[in-house]
């Protein structure tokens, strides 16, 4: 620190500004809490966090893939949609239970994403990044419109039948259902499994090495193509589970349902700092909370929720472009 003299008059002005800001924020939060009563506020917060957990499952796929191949996999949201449909058919047509259905959805999504990676992205590994991105957009369109065909899934809204009865508990006005418990519990479980794979297994070590430097990893004897496929598979499995949980929470599915949650999950991943797993998680919780808070407290919020979601993104970009957990990048000459 170079400053030799401290001007106390200047400092007092600064601290007055800080105090005003603090009072303003506190007043704002209290105002929102008392607006419809504290129960309403905490209920909204809980719903937001629940939505955030579902977003987290999608955002992790984005962040893993981006971390390894720097590709925004636009088709990821549609893989999520396929997961929801797979479990729908497992439950409604074959009468399977919840656990087999979710496993089925995860397997279908894994296979689908690996096929997409092999067919569409792998030939473009050395092409300019935009080529891969356009291809991803193409794959996304293909999945949406192909599944909307009459003999695939159809273009209508379908009511999703939950594989278990809904149980409601009340804690002094606060409503908690078993759906919330399942979403939070399952997401945390999957997160721990993912963290274990990345941090503790040989595959995870190879993934981290590939993310750091692809050619060096190849020189160390890592099968880079295999690792990339494995990353796509991991992301897809999480998205499949996310699709099932999303459909259980909001039981209406159609083939374009992946678009907005996919985009918002991607925004969440960017919010947290893309490439970072804890960042994606925290970003998703924030994104989900903002989503539900806007709907609950902003007038006409349910119509303006997307506007606010992306406004937050732009503000974050202006203040800290690399996201909350992102590492600052410096350009090399």
Chain residues in the site for another protein (CB under 8 A): 1-7, 10-11, 13-14, 17-18, 70, 72, 120, 123-124, 127-128, 130-131, 134-135, 137-142, 144-146, 148-150, 155, 259, 263, 266-267, 270, 300, 303-304, 306-307, 310-311, 313-314, 317-318, 321, 329, 331, 333
CB atoms closer than 10 angstroms to residue 191: 19
User: Quick one: which of 80, 28, 73, 29 has its CA closest to 58?
Assistant: 80
Query: Which stretches of the chain are DSSP H helices?
Result: 8-35, 38-69, 76-92, 98-116, 129-147, 178-200, 202-212, 214-219, 224-249, 259-272, 277-297, 301-319
Distance in Å, CB of 269 to another protein, minimum = 10
Q: Which is nearer to another protein, 67 or 163 (CB)?
A: 67
Crossing angle of helices 224-249 and 178-200, in 10° steps, is: 170
Distance in Å, CB of 124 to another protein, minimum = 7
Q: Rounded CA gap, 302 and 257, in Å?
A: 17
Q: Which is nearer to another protein, 104 or 325 (CB)?
A: 325
User: Exposed, middle or buried by CB within 10 Å (0-12, 13-18, 19+), for 42?
Assistant: middle
Q: Rounded CA gap, 61 and 232, in Å?
A: 7
Distance in Å, CB of 286 to another protein, minimum = 15
Distance in Å, CB of 37 to another protein, minimum = 27
Q: Which is nearer to another protein, 20 or 175 (CB)?
A: 20
- Residues paired with 176 in a beta bridge: 169
Q: Which is nearer to another protein, 222 or 292 (CB)?
A: 292
Distance in Å, CB of 214 to another protein, minimum = 17
Q: Which is nearer to another protein, 102 or 267 (CB)?
A: 267
SS3 312: helix
The CA–CA distances, whole Å, from 164 to 142, 170, 176, 200, 305 equal: 33, 19, 16, 35, 30
Q: Which is nearer to another protein, 226 or 321 (CB)?
A: 321
Distance in Å, CB of 55 to another protein, minimum = 16
Q: Which is nearer to another protein, 213 or 306 (CB)?
A: 306
Q: Rounded CA gap, 136 and 207, in Å?
A: 22
Q: Which is nearer to another protein, 179 or 291 (CB)?
A: 291
Distance in Å, CB of 6 to another protein, minimum = 6
Distance in Å, CB of 39 to another protein, minimum = 29
Contact by Cβ (8 Å): 237, 109: yes
Contact by Cβ (8 Å): 111, 126: no
Distance in Å, CB of 296 to another protein, minimum = 18
Residues 6+ apart with CB under 8 A from 214: 224
Residue 326 is classified by DSSP as P
Q: Which is nearer to another protein, 204 or 262 (CB)?
A: 262
């Amino acid at each position: 620190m170079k400053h030799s003299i401290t001007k106390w008059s200047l400092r007092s002005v600064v601290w007055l500004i800080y105090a005003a800001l603090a009072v303003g924020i506190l007043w704002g939060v209290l105002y929102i809490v008392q607006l419809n009563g504290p129960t309403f506020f905490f209920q909204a917060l809980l719903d937001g966090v629940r939505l955030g957990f579902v977003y987290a499952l999608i955002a992790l796929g984005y962040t893993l893939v981006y971390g390894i191949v720097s590709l925004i996999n636009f088709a990821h949201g549609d893989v999520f949609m396929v997961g929801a449909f797979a479990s729908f058919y497992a439950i409604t047509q074959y009468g399977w239970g919840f656990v087999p259905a979710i496993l089925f959805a995860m397997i279908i999504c894994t296979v689908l994403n690996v096929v997409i990676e092999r067919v569409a992205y792998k030939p473009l590994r050395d092409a300019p990044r935009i080529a891969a991105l356009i291809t991803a957009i193409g794959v996304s369109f293909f999945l949406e419109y192909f599944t909307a065909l009459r003999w695939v899934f159809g273009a209508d809204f379908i009511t999703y039948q939950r594989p278990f009865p809904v149980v409601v508990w009340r804690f002094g006005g606060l409503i908690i259902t078993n759906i919330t418990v399942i979403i939070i519990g399952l997401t945390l479980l999957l997160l721990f499994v993912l963290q274990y794979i990345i941090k503790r297994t040989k595959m995870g070590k190879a993934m981290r090495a590939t993310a750091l430097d692809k050619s060096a990893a190849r020189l160390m004897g890592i099968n880079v193509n295999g690792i990339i496929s494995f990353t796509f598979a991991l992301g897809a499995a999480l998205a499949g589970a996310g699709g099932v949980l999303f459909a259980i929470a909001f039981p209406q599915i159609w083939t374009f349902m992946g678009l907005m949650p996919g985009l918002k999950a991607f925004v969440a991943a960017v919010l947290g700092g893309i490439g970072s797993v804890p960042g994606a998680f925290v970003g998703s919780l924030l994104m989900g909370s903002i989503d539900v808070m806007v709907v609950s407290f902003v007038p006409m919020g349910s119509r303006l929720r997307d506007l606010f979601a992306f406004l937050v993104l732009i503000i974050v970009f202006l203040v800290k472009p690399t996201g909350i957990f992102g590492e600052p990048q410096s350009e090399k000459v």
